Chain A
Amino acid sequence: MKRLGSWTGRLLPLLVGPGMLGSLYLIFMVVPTERVQGIVQRIFYFHVPAAWAAFLGFFVVAIASSLFLWSGRAAYDRVARAAAEIGMVFCTLVLLTGPIWARPIWGAWWTWDPRLTMTMILWTIYAAYLLLRAFGGAEEAVARYAAVLGIVGALDIPLIMISVRLWRGIHPSVITARPGEGGLADPSMRFTLLFTGLCFVLLFAWMLLVRLRALRVEDEIEAVHSRIHPA
C-alpha cells in the first residue's frame, strides 16, 4: 500500500502539471467566447471543477468518517482530516470565483440564492470541522464528534446539486441544463469543462496523498512523544 502511494505520489504531479497547462490552453485558445456573458464566462471552467473537487473532498470525508466510526481505525480518521482540509481549499475557491463572475453578470457580488446559501453553509460546516480538529485535542471522542459532523456536512451536497431546480434559484445549471435552458452549447466547451474537471480531481488526489503522508508522520511523532513522556 505504501509502495502504491509513493508510485502514485510521483505519477500524479506529472499528470497534473501538463494537465493544468492543457486546461489553460483549451480555456483561452480553443473554446469560443460565450455570446451572452462574454469572456467572463471562462471563469466557469475553473469555478465548476473546483466545486467538483470540493464535493469529492467532502464525500471522501463522509465515507472515511463512516468507516472510522465503524472500525475505529486511525487511518480512516486521517483520510477524513486530510480530505476535509483539501475540500475546504476548493470550496473556498468556489466561493471566491463565484462572486467575481456574478458581479458583471448579476450586478452584485453576492445574493442569497439557494445554491449560494447552501454552499456557504457547506463551507461553514467544514470550517467548524477543521476548527474542532485543530483545537479540540487529540482524544478519540473529539475524532468521533468530528466524524459525525463530517458525515452530516456531506448531506448538504445533494441539496446544493438540486437546489437550482428545487427552489428555482438564479444560479445557472451548467451540467443538468435541459435543451433550450442554456448550459454549454458548444462541444469544445463541454470537453474543456470535463478535461479541467479531471485535472482538478487529479490535483485533489495528489494533495490528498501529500497531506496524508504528513498526517501519518505527525501521528508517529505523537506516538514517539508518548514513549518518551508516558502519561
Chain B
Amino acid sequence: MENFPYLFSAYAIVWIVLFVYLFSLDRRGRRAEHDLEELRKLLRAKEAK
C-alpha cells in the first residue's frame, strides 16, 4: 500500500470540492428564490398603493 496517502488525498479533495460546490449551488439557488419572492411582495405592495 505504498503511496496510499496520495491516493486518499486525491479522492478526498475531489469529493470535498464537489460537495462544497454543490452545497454552494443549492444555497445560492434558495437565496435567489427567496429574494425574488420578497421583491415580488414589495412590487405588489407598491403597485397596490
* Docked CA distance A228–B43 (Å): 6
State how many residues of chain B have any CB contact under 8 Å with chain A: 28
Please determine whether A210 and B25 come into contact, CB atoms closer than 8 angstroms: yes
Please determine whether A217 and B1 come into contact, CB atoms closer than 8 angstroms: no
Contact of B33 among A47, A217, A224 (CB under 8 A): A217
Please determine whether B43 and A42 come into contact, CB atoms closer than 8 angstroms: no
Contact of A100 among B10, B35, B43 (CB under 8 A): B10
| A-side contacts of B4, CB under 8 Å | 39
Please determine whether B36 and A97 come into contact, CB atoms closer than 8 angstroms: no
Please determine whether A46 and B36 come into contact, CB atoms closer than 8 angstroms: no
Please determine whether A207 and B26 come into contact, CB atoms closer than 8 angstroms: no
* Docked CA distance A133–B10 (Å): 30
Contact of B17 among A39, A43, A93, A228 (CB under 8 A): A93
The answer to whether B49 has its CB under 8 Å from any CB of chain A is no
Contact of B10 among A47, A210, A217, A220 (CB under 8 A): A47
Please determine whether A43 and B6 come into contact, CB atoms closer than 8 angstroms: yes
Contact of A207 among B1, B9, B21, B36 (CB under 8 A): B21
Please determine whether B39 and A224 come into contact, CB atoms closer than 8 angstroms: yes
Please determine whether B29 and A221 come into contact, CB atoms closer than 8 angstroms: no
A residues 15-60 in Cβ contact with B at 8 Å: 38-40, 42-43, 46-47, 50
